[in-house]
Amino acid sequence: MKARGPVLPIFYDVDPSDVRKQTGSFGEAFANHEERFRDDKEKVQSWRYALTEVATFSGWNSKEWYESKLIRDIVEVIWKKLQPTSFSFAENLVGIYSRLQPLNLLLGVGVDDVRFTGIWGMGRIGKTTMVRVVYERISREFEFSFLLTDVRSSVGKSGLLKLQKQLLSGIWTKKADISDIHEGATIIRRLLGHKRVVLILDDVNRSIHLKYLAGNQEWFGSGSRVLITTRNEHLLIEHGVERRLKVEEFNNDDSLQLFS
């Protein structure tokens, strides 16, 4: 069998060895197909070869998983494989690559520590665009990834508790029925404490946002990255964010290119 793309076998209520050898209940079902297609033996034989090969691939055996966890794991794997490998939208962004170089060094994705990194600068200078590009490039390398944009506005409209619930909805199978931000912070820490995650908090303007959405390094598993954008560097300093990058205005060449 020549696969046209990735093959991810899911053995649902069937033993992989039965698929490989066409035995047991799977063999009985296959015998019915042979009877149905008795005038096209070559087709049935090609199916046998294909199933024998598929059964040797790494996949999921439903008998070894709780069904809810099985579904979640399958969705996560497929989602990561479907993430784009090219970022054509970023190709036309003036000055994006020169701005991302120092940020990539600060992030150090792949190193097994937990890093908080802050981006600060005046409004409308491109901080949100930068973190969107970073998110699309690195999110596949983490167990869980979160991008919370416009935190300042979201909290102002709906409150910090709703933002916590939004974050939890991506990691908690239960309904995020939390009563206050203290409980929300406790649950976030408990659920992410052993997970490798990337969390991006965009346009933060109050220390309480960081306190109850990102806490400190102990909230996250080894290799995690927390990236924060703000207009106020003092906010980052107050929260103990040592890795900080100021987004400068465009140089003359980039300004001319943007204008053109």
Classify each residue of 12-26 as buried b or exposed e, where b means 16 or more C-beta atoms within 10 Å of its C-beta.
eebbbebbeebeeeb
CATH class in words for 10-81: alpha beta
Domain ranges of the chain: 10-81, 89-259
Q: Which of 21-30, 99-108, 155-164 has the lowest mean pLDDT?
A: 21-30
Taking the C-alpha atoms of 71, 167, 126 and 209 in order, what is their torsion angle to the nearest 10 degrees? -160
Do the domains 89-259 and 10-81 match in fold?
Answer: yes
Nearest Cα to 145, choosing from 217, 225, 236?
225
Reported as a pLDDT band with limits 50, 70 and 90, residue 249 is low
φ and ψ of 138, to 5 deg = -110, -10
* Residue 257, pLDDT score: 54
Classify each residue of 128-148 as buried b or exposed e, where b means 16 or more C-beta atoms within 10 Å of its C-beta.
bebbbbbbbbbbeebbbbbbb
In CATH terms, is domain 89-259 a member of 3.30.1360.100? no
Chain mean pLDDT for the chain: 83
Report the pLDDT averaged over residues 80-102: 61
Q: Which residues pair with 115 in a beta bridge?
A: 225
User: How much is the pTM?
Assistant: 0.64
Report the pLDDT averaged over residues 17-43: 81
Query: What are the C-alpha distances in Å from 110 to residues 27, 138, 191?
Result: 46, 10, 21
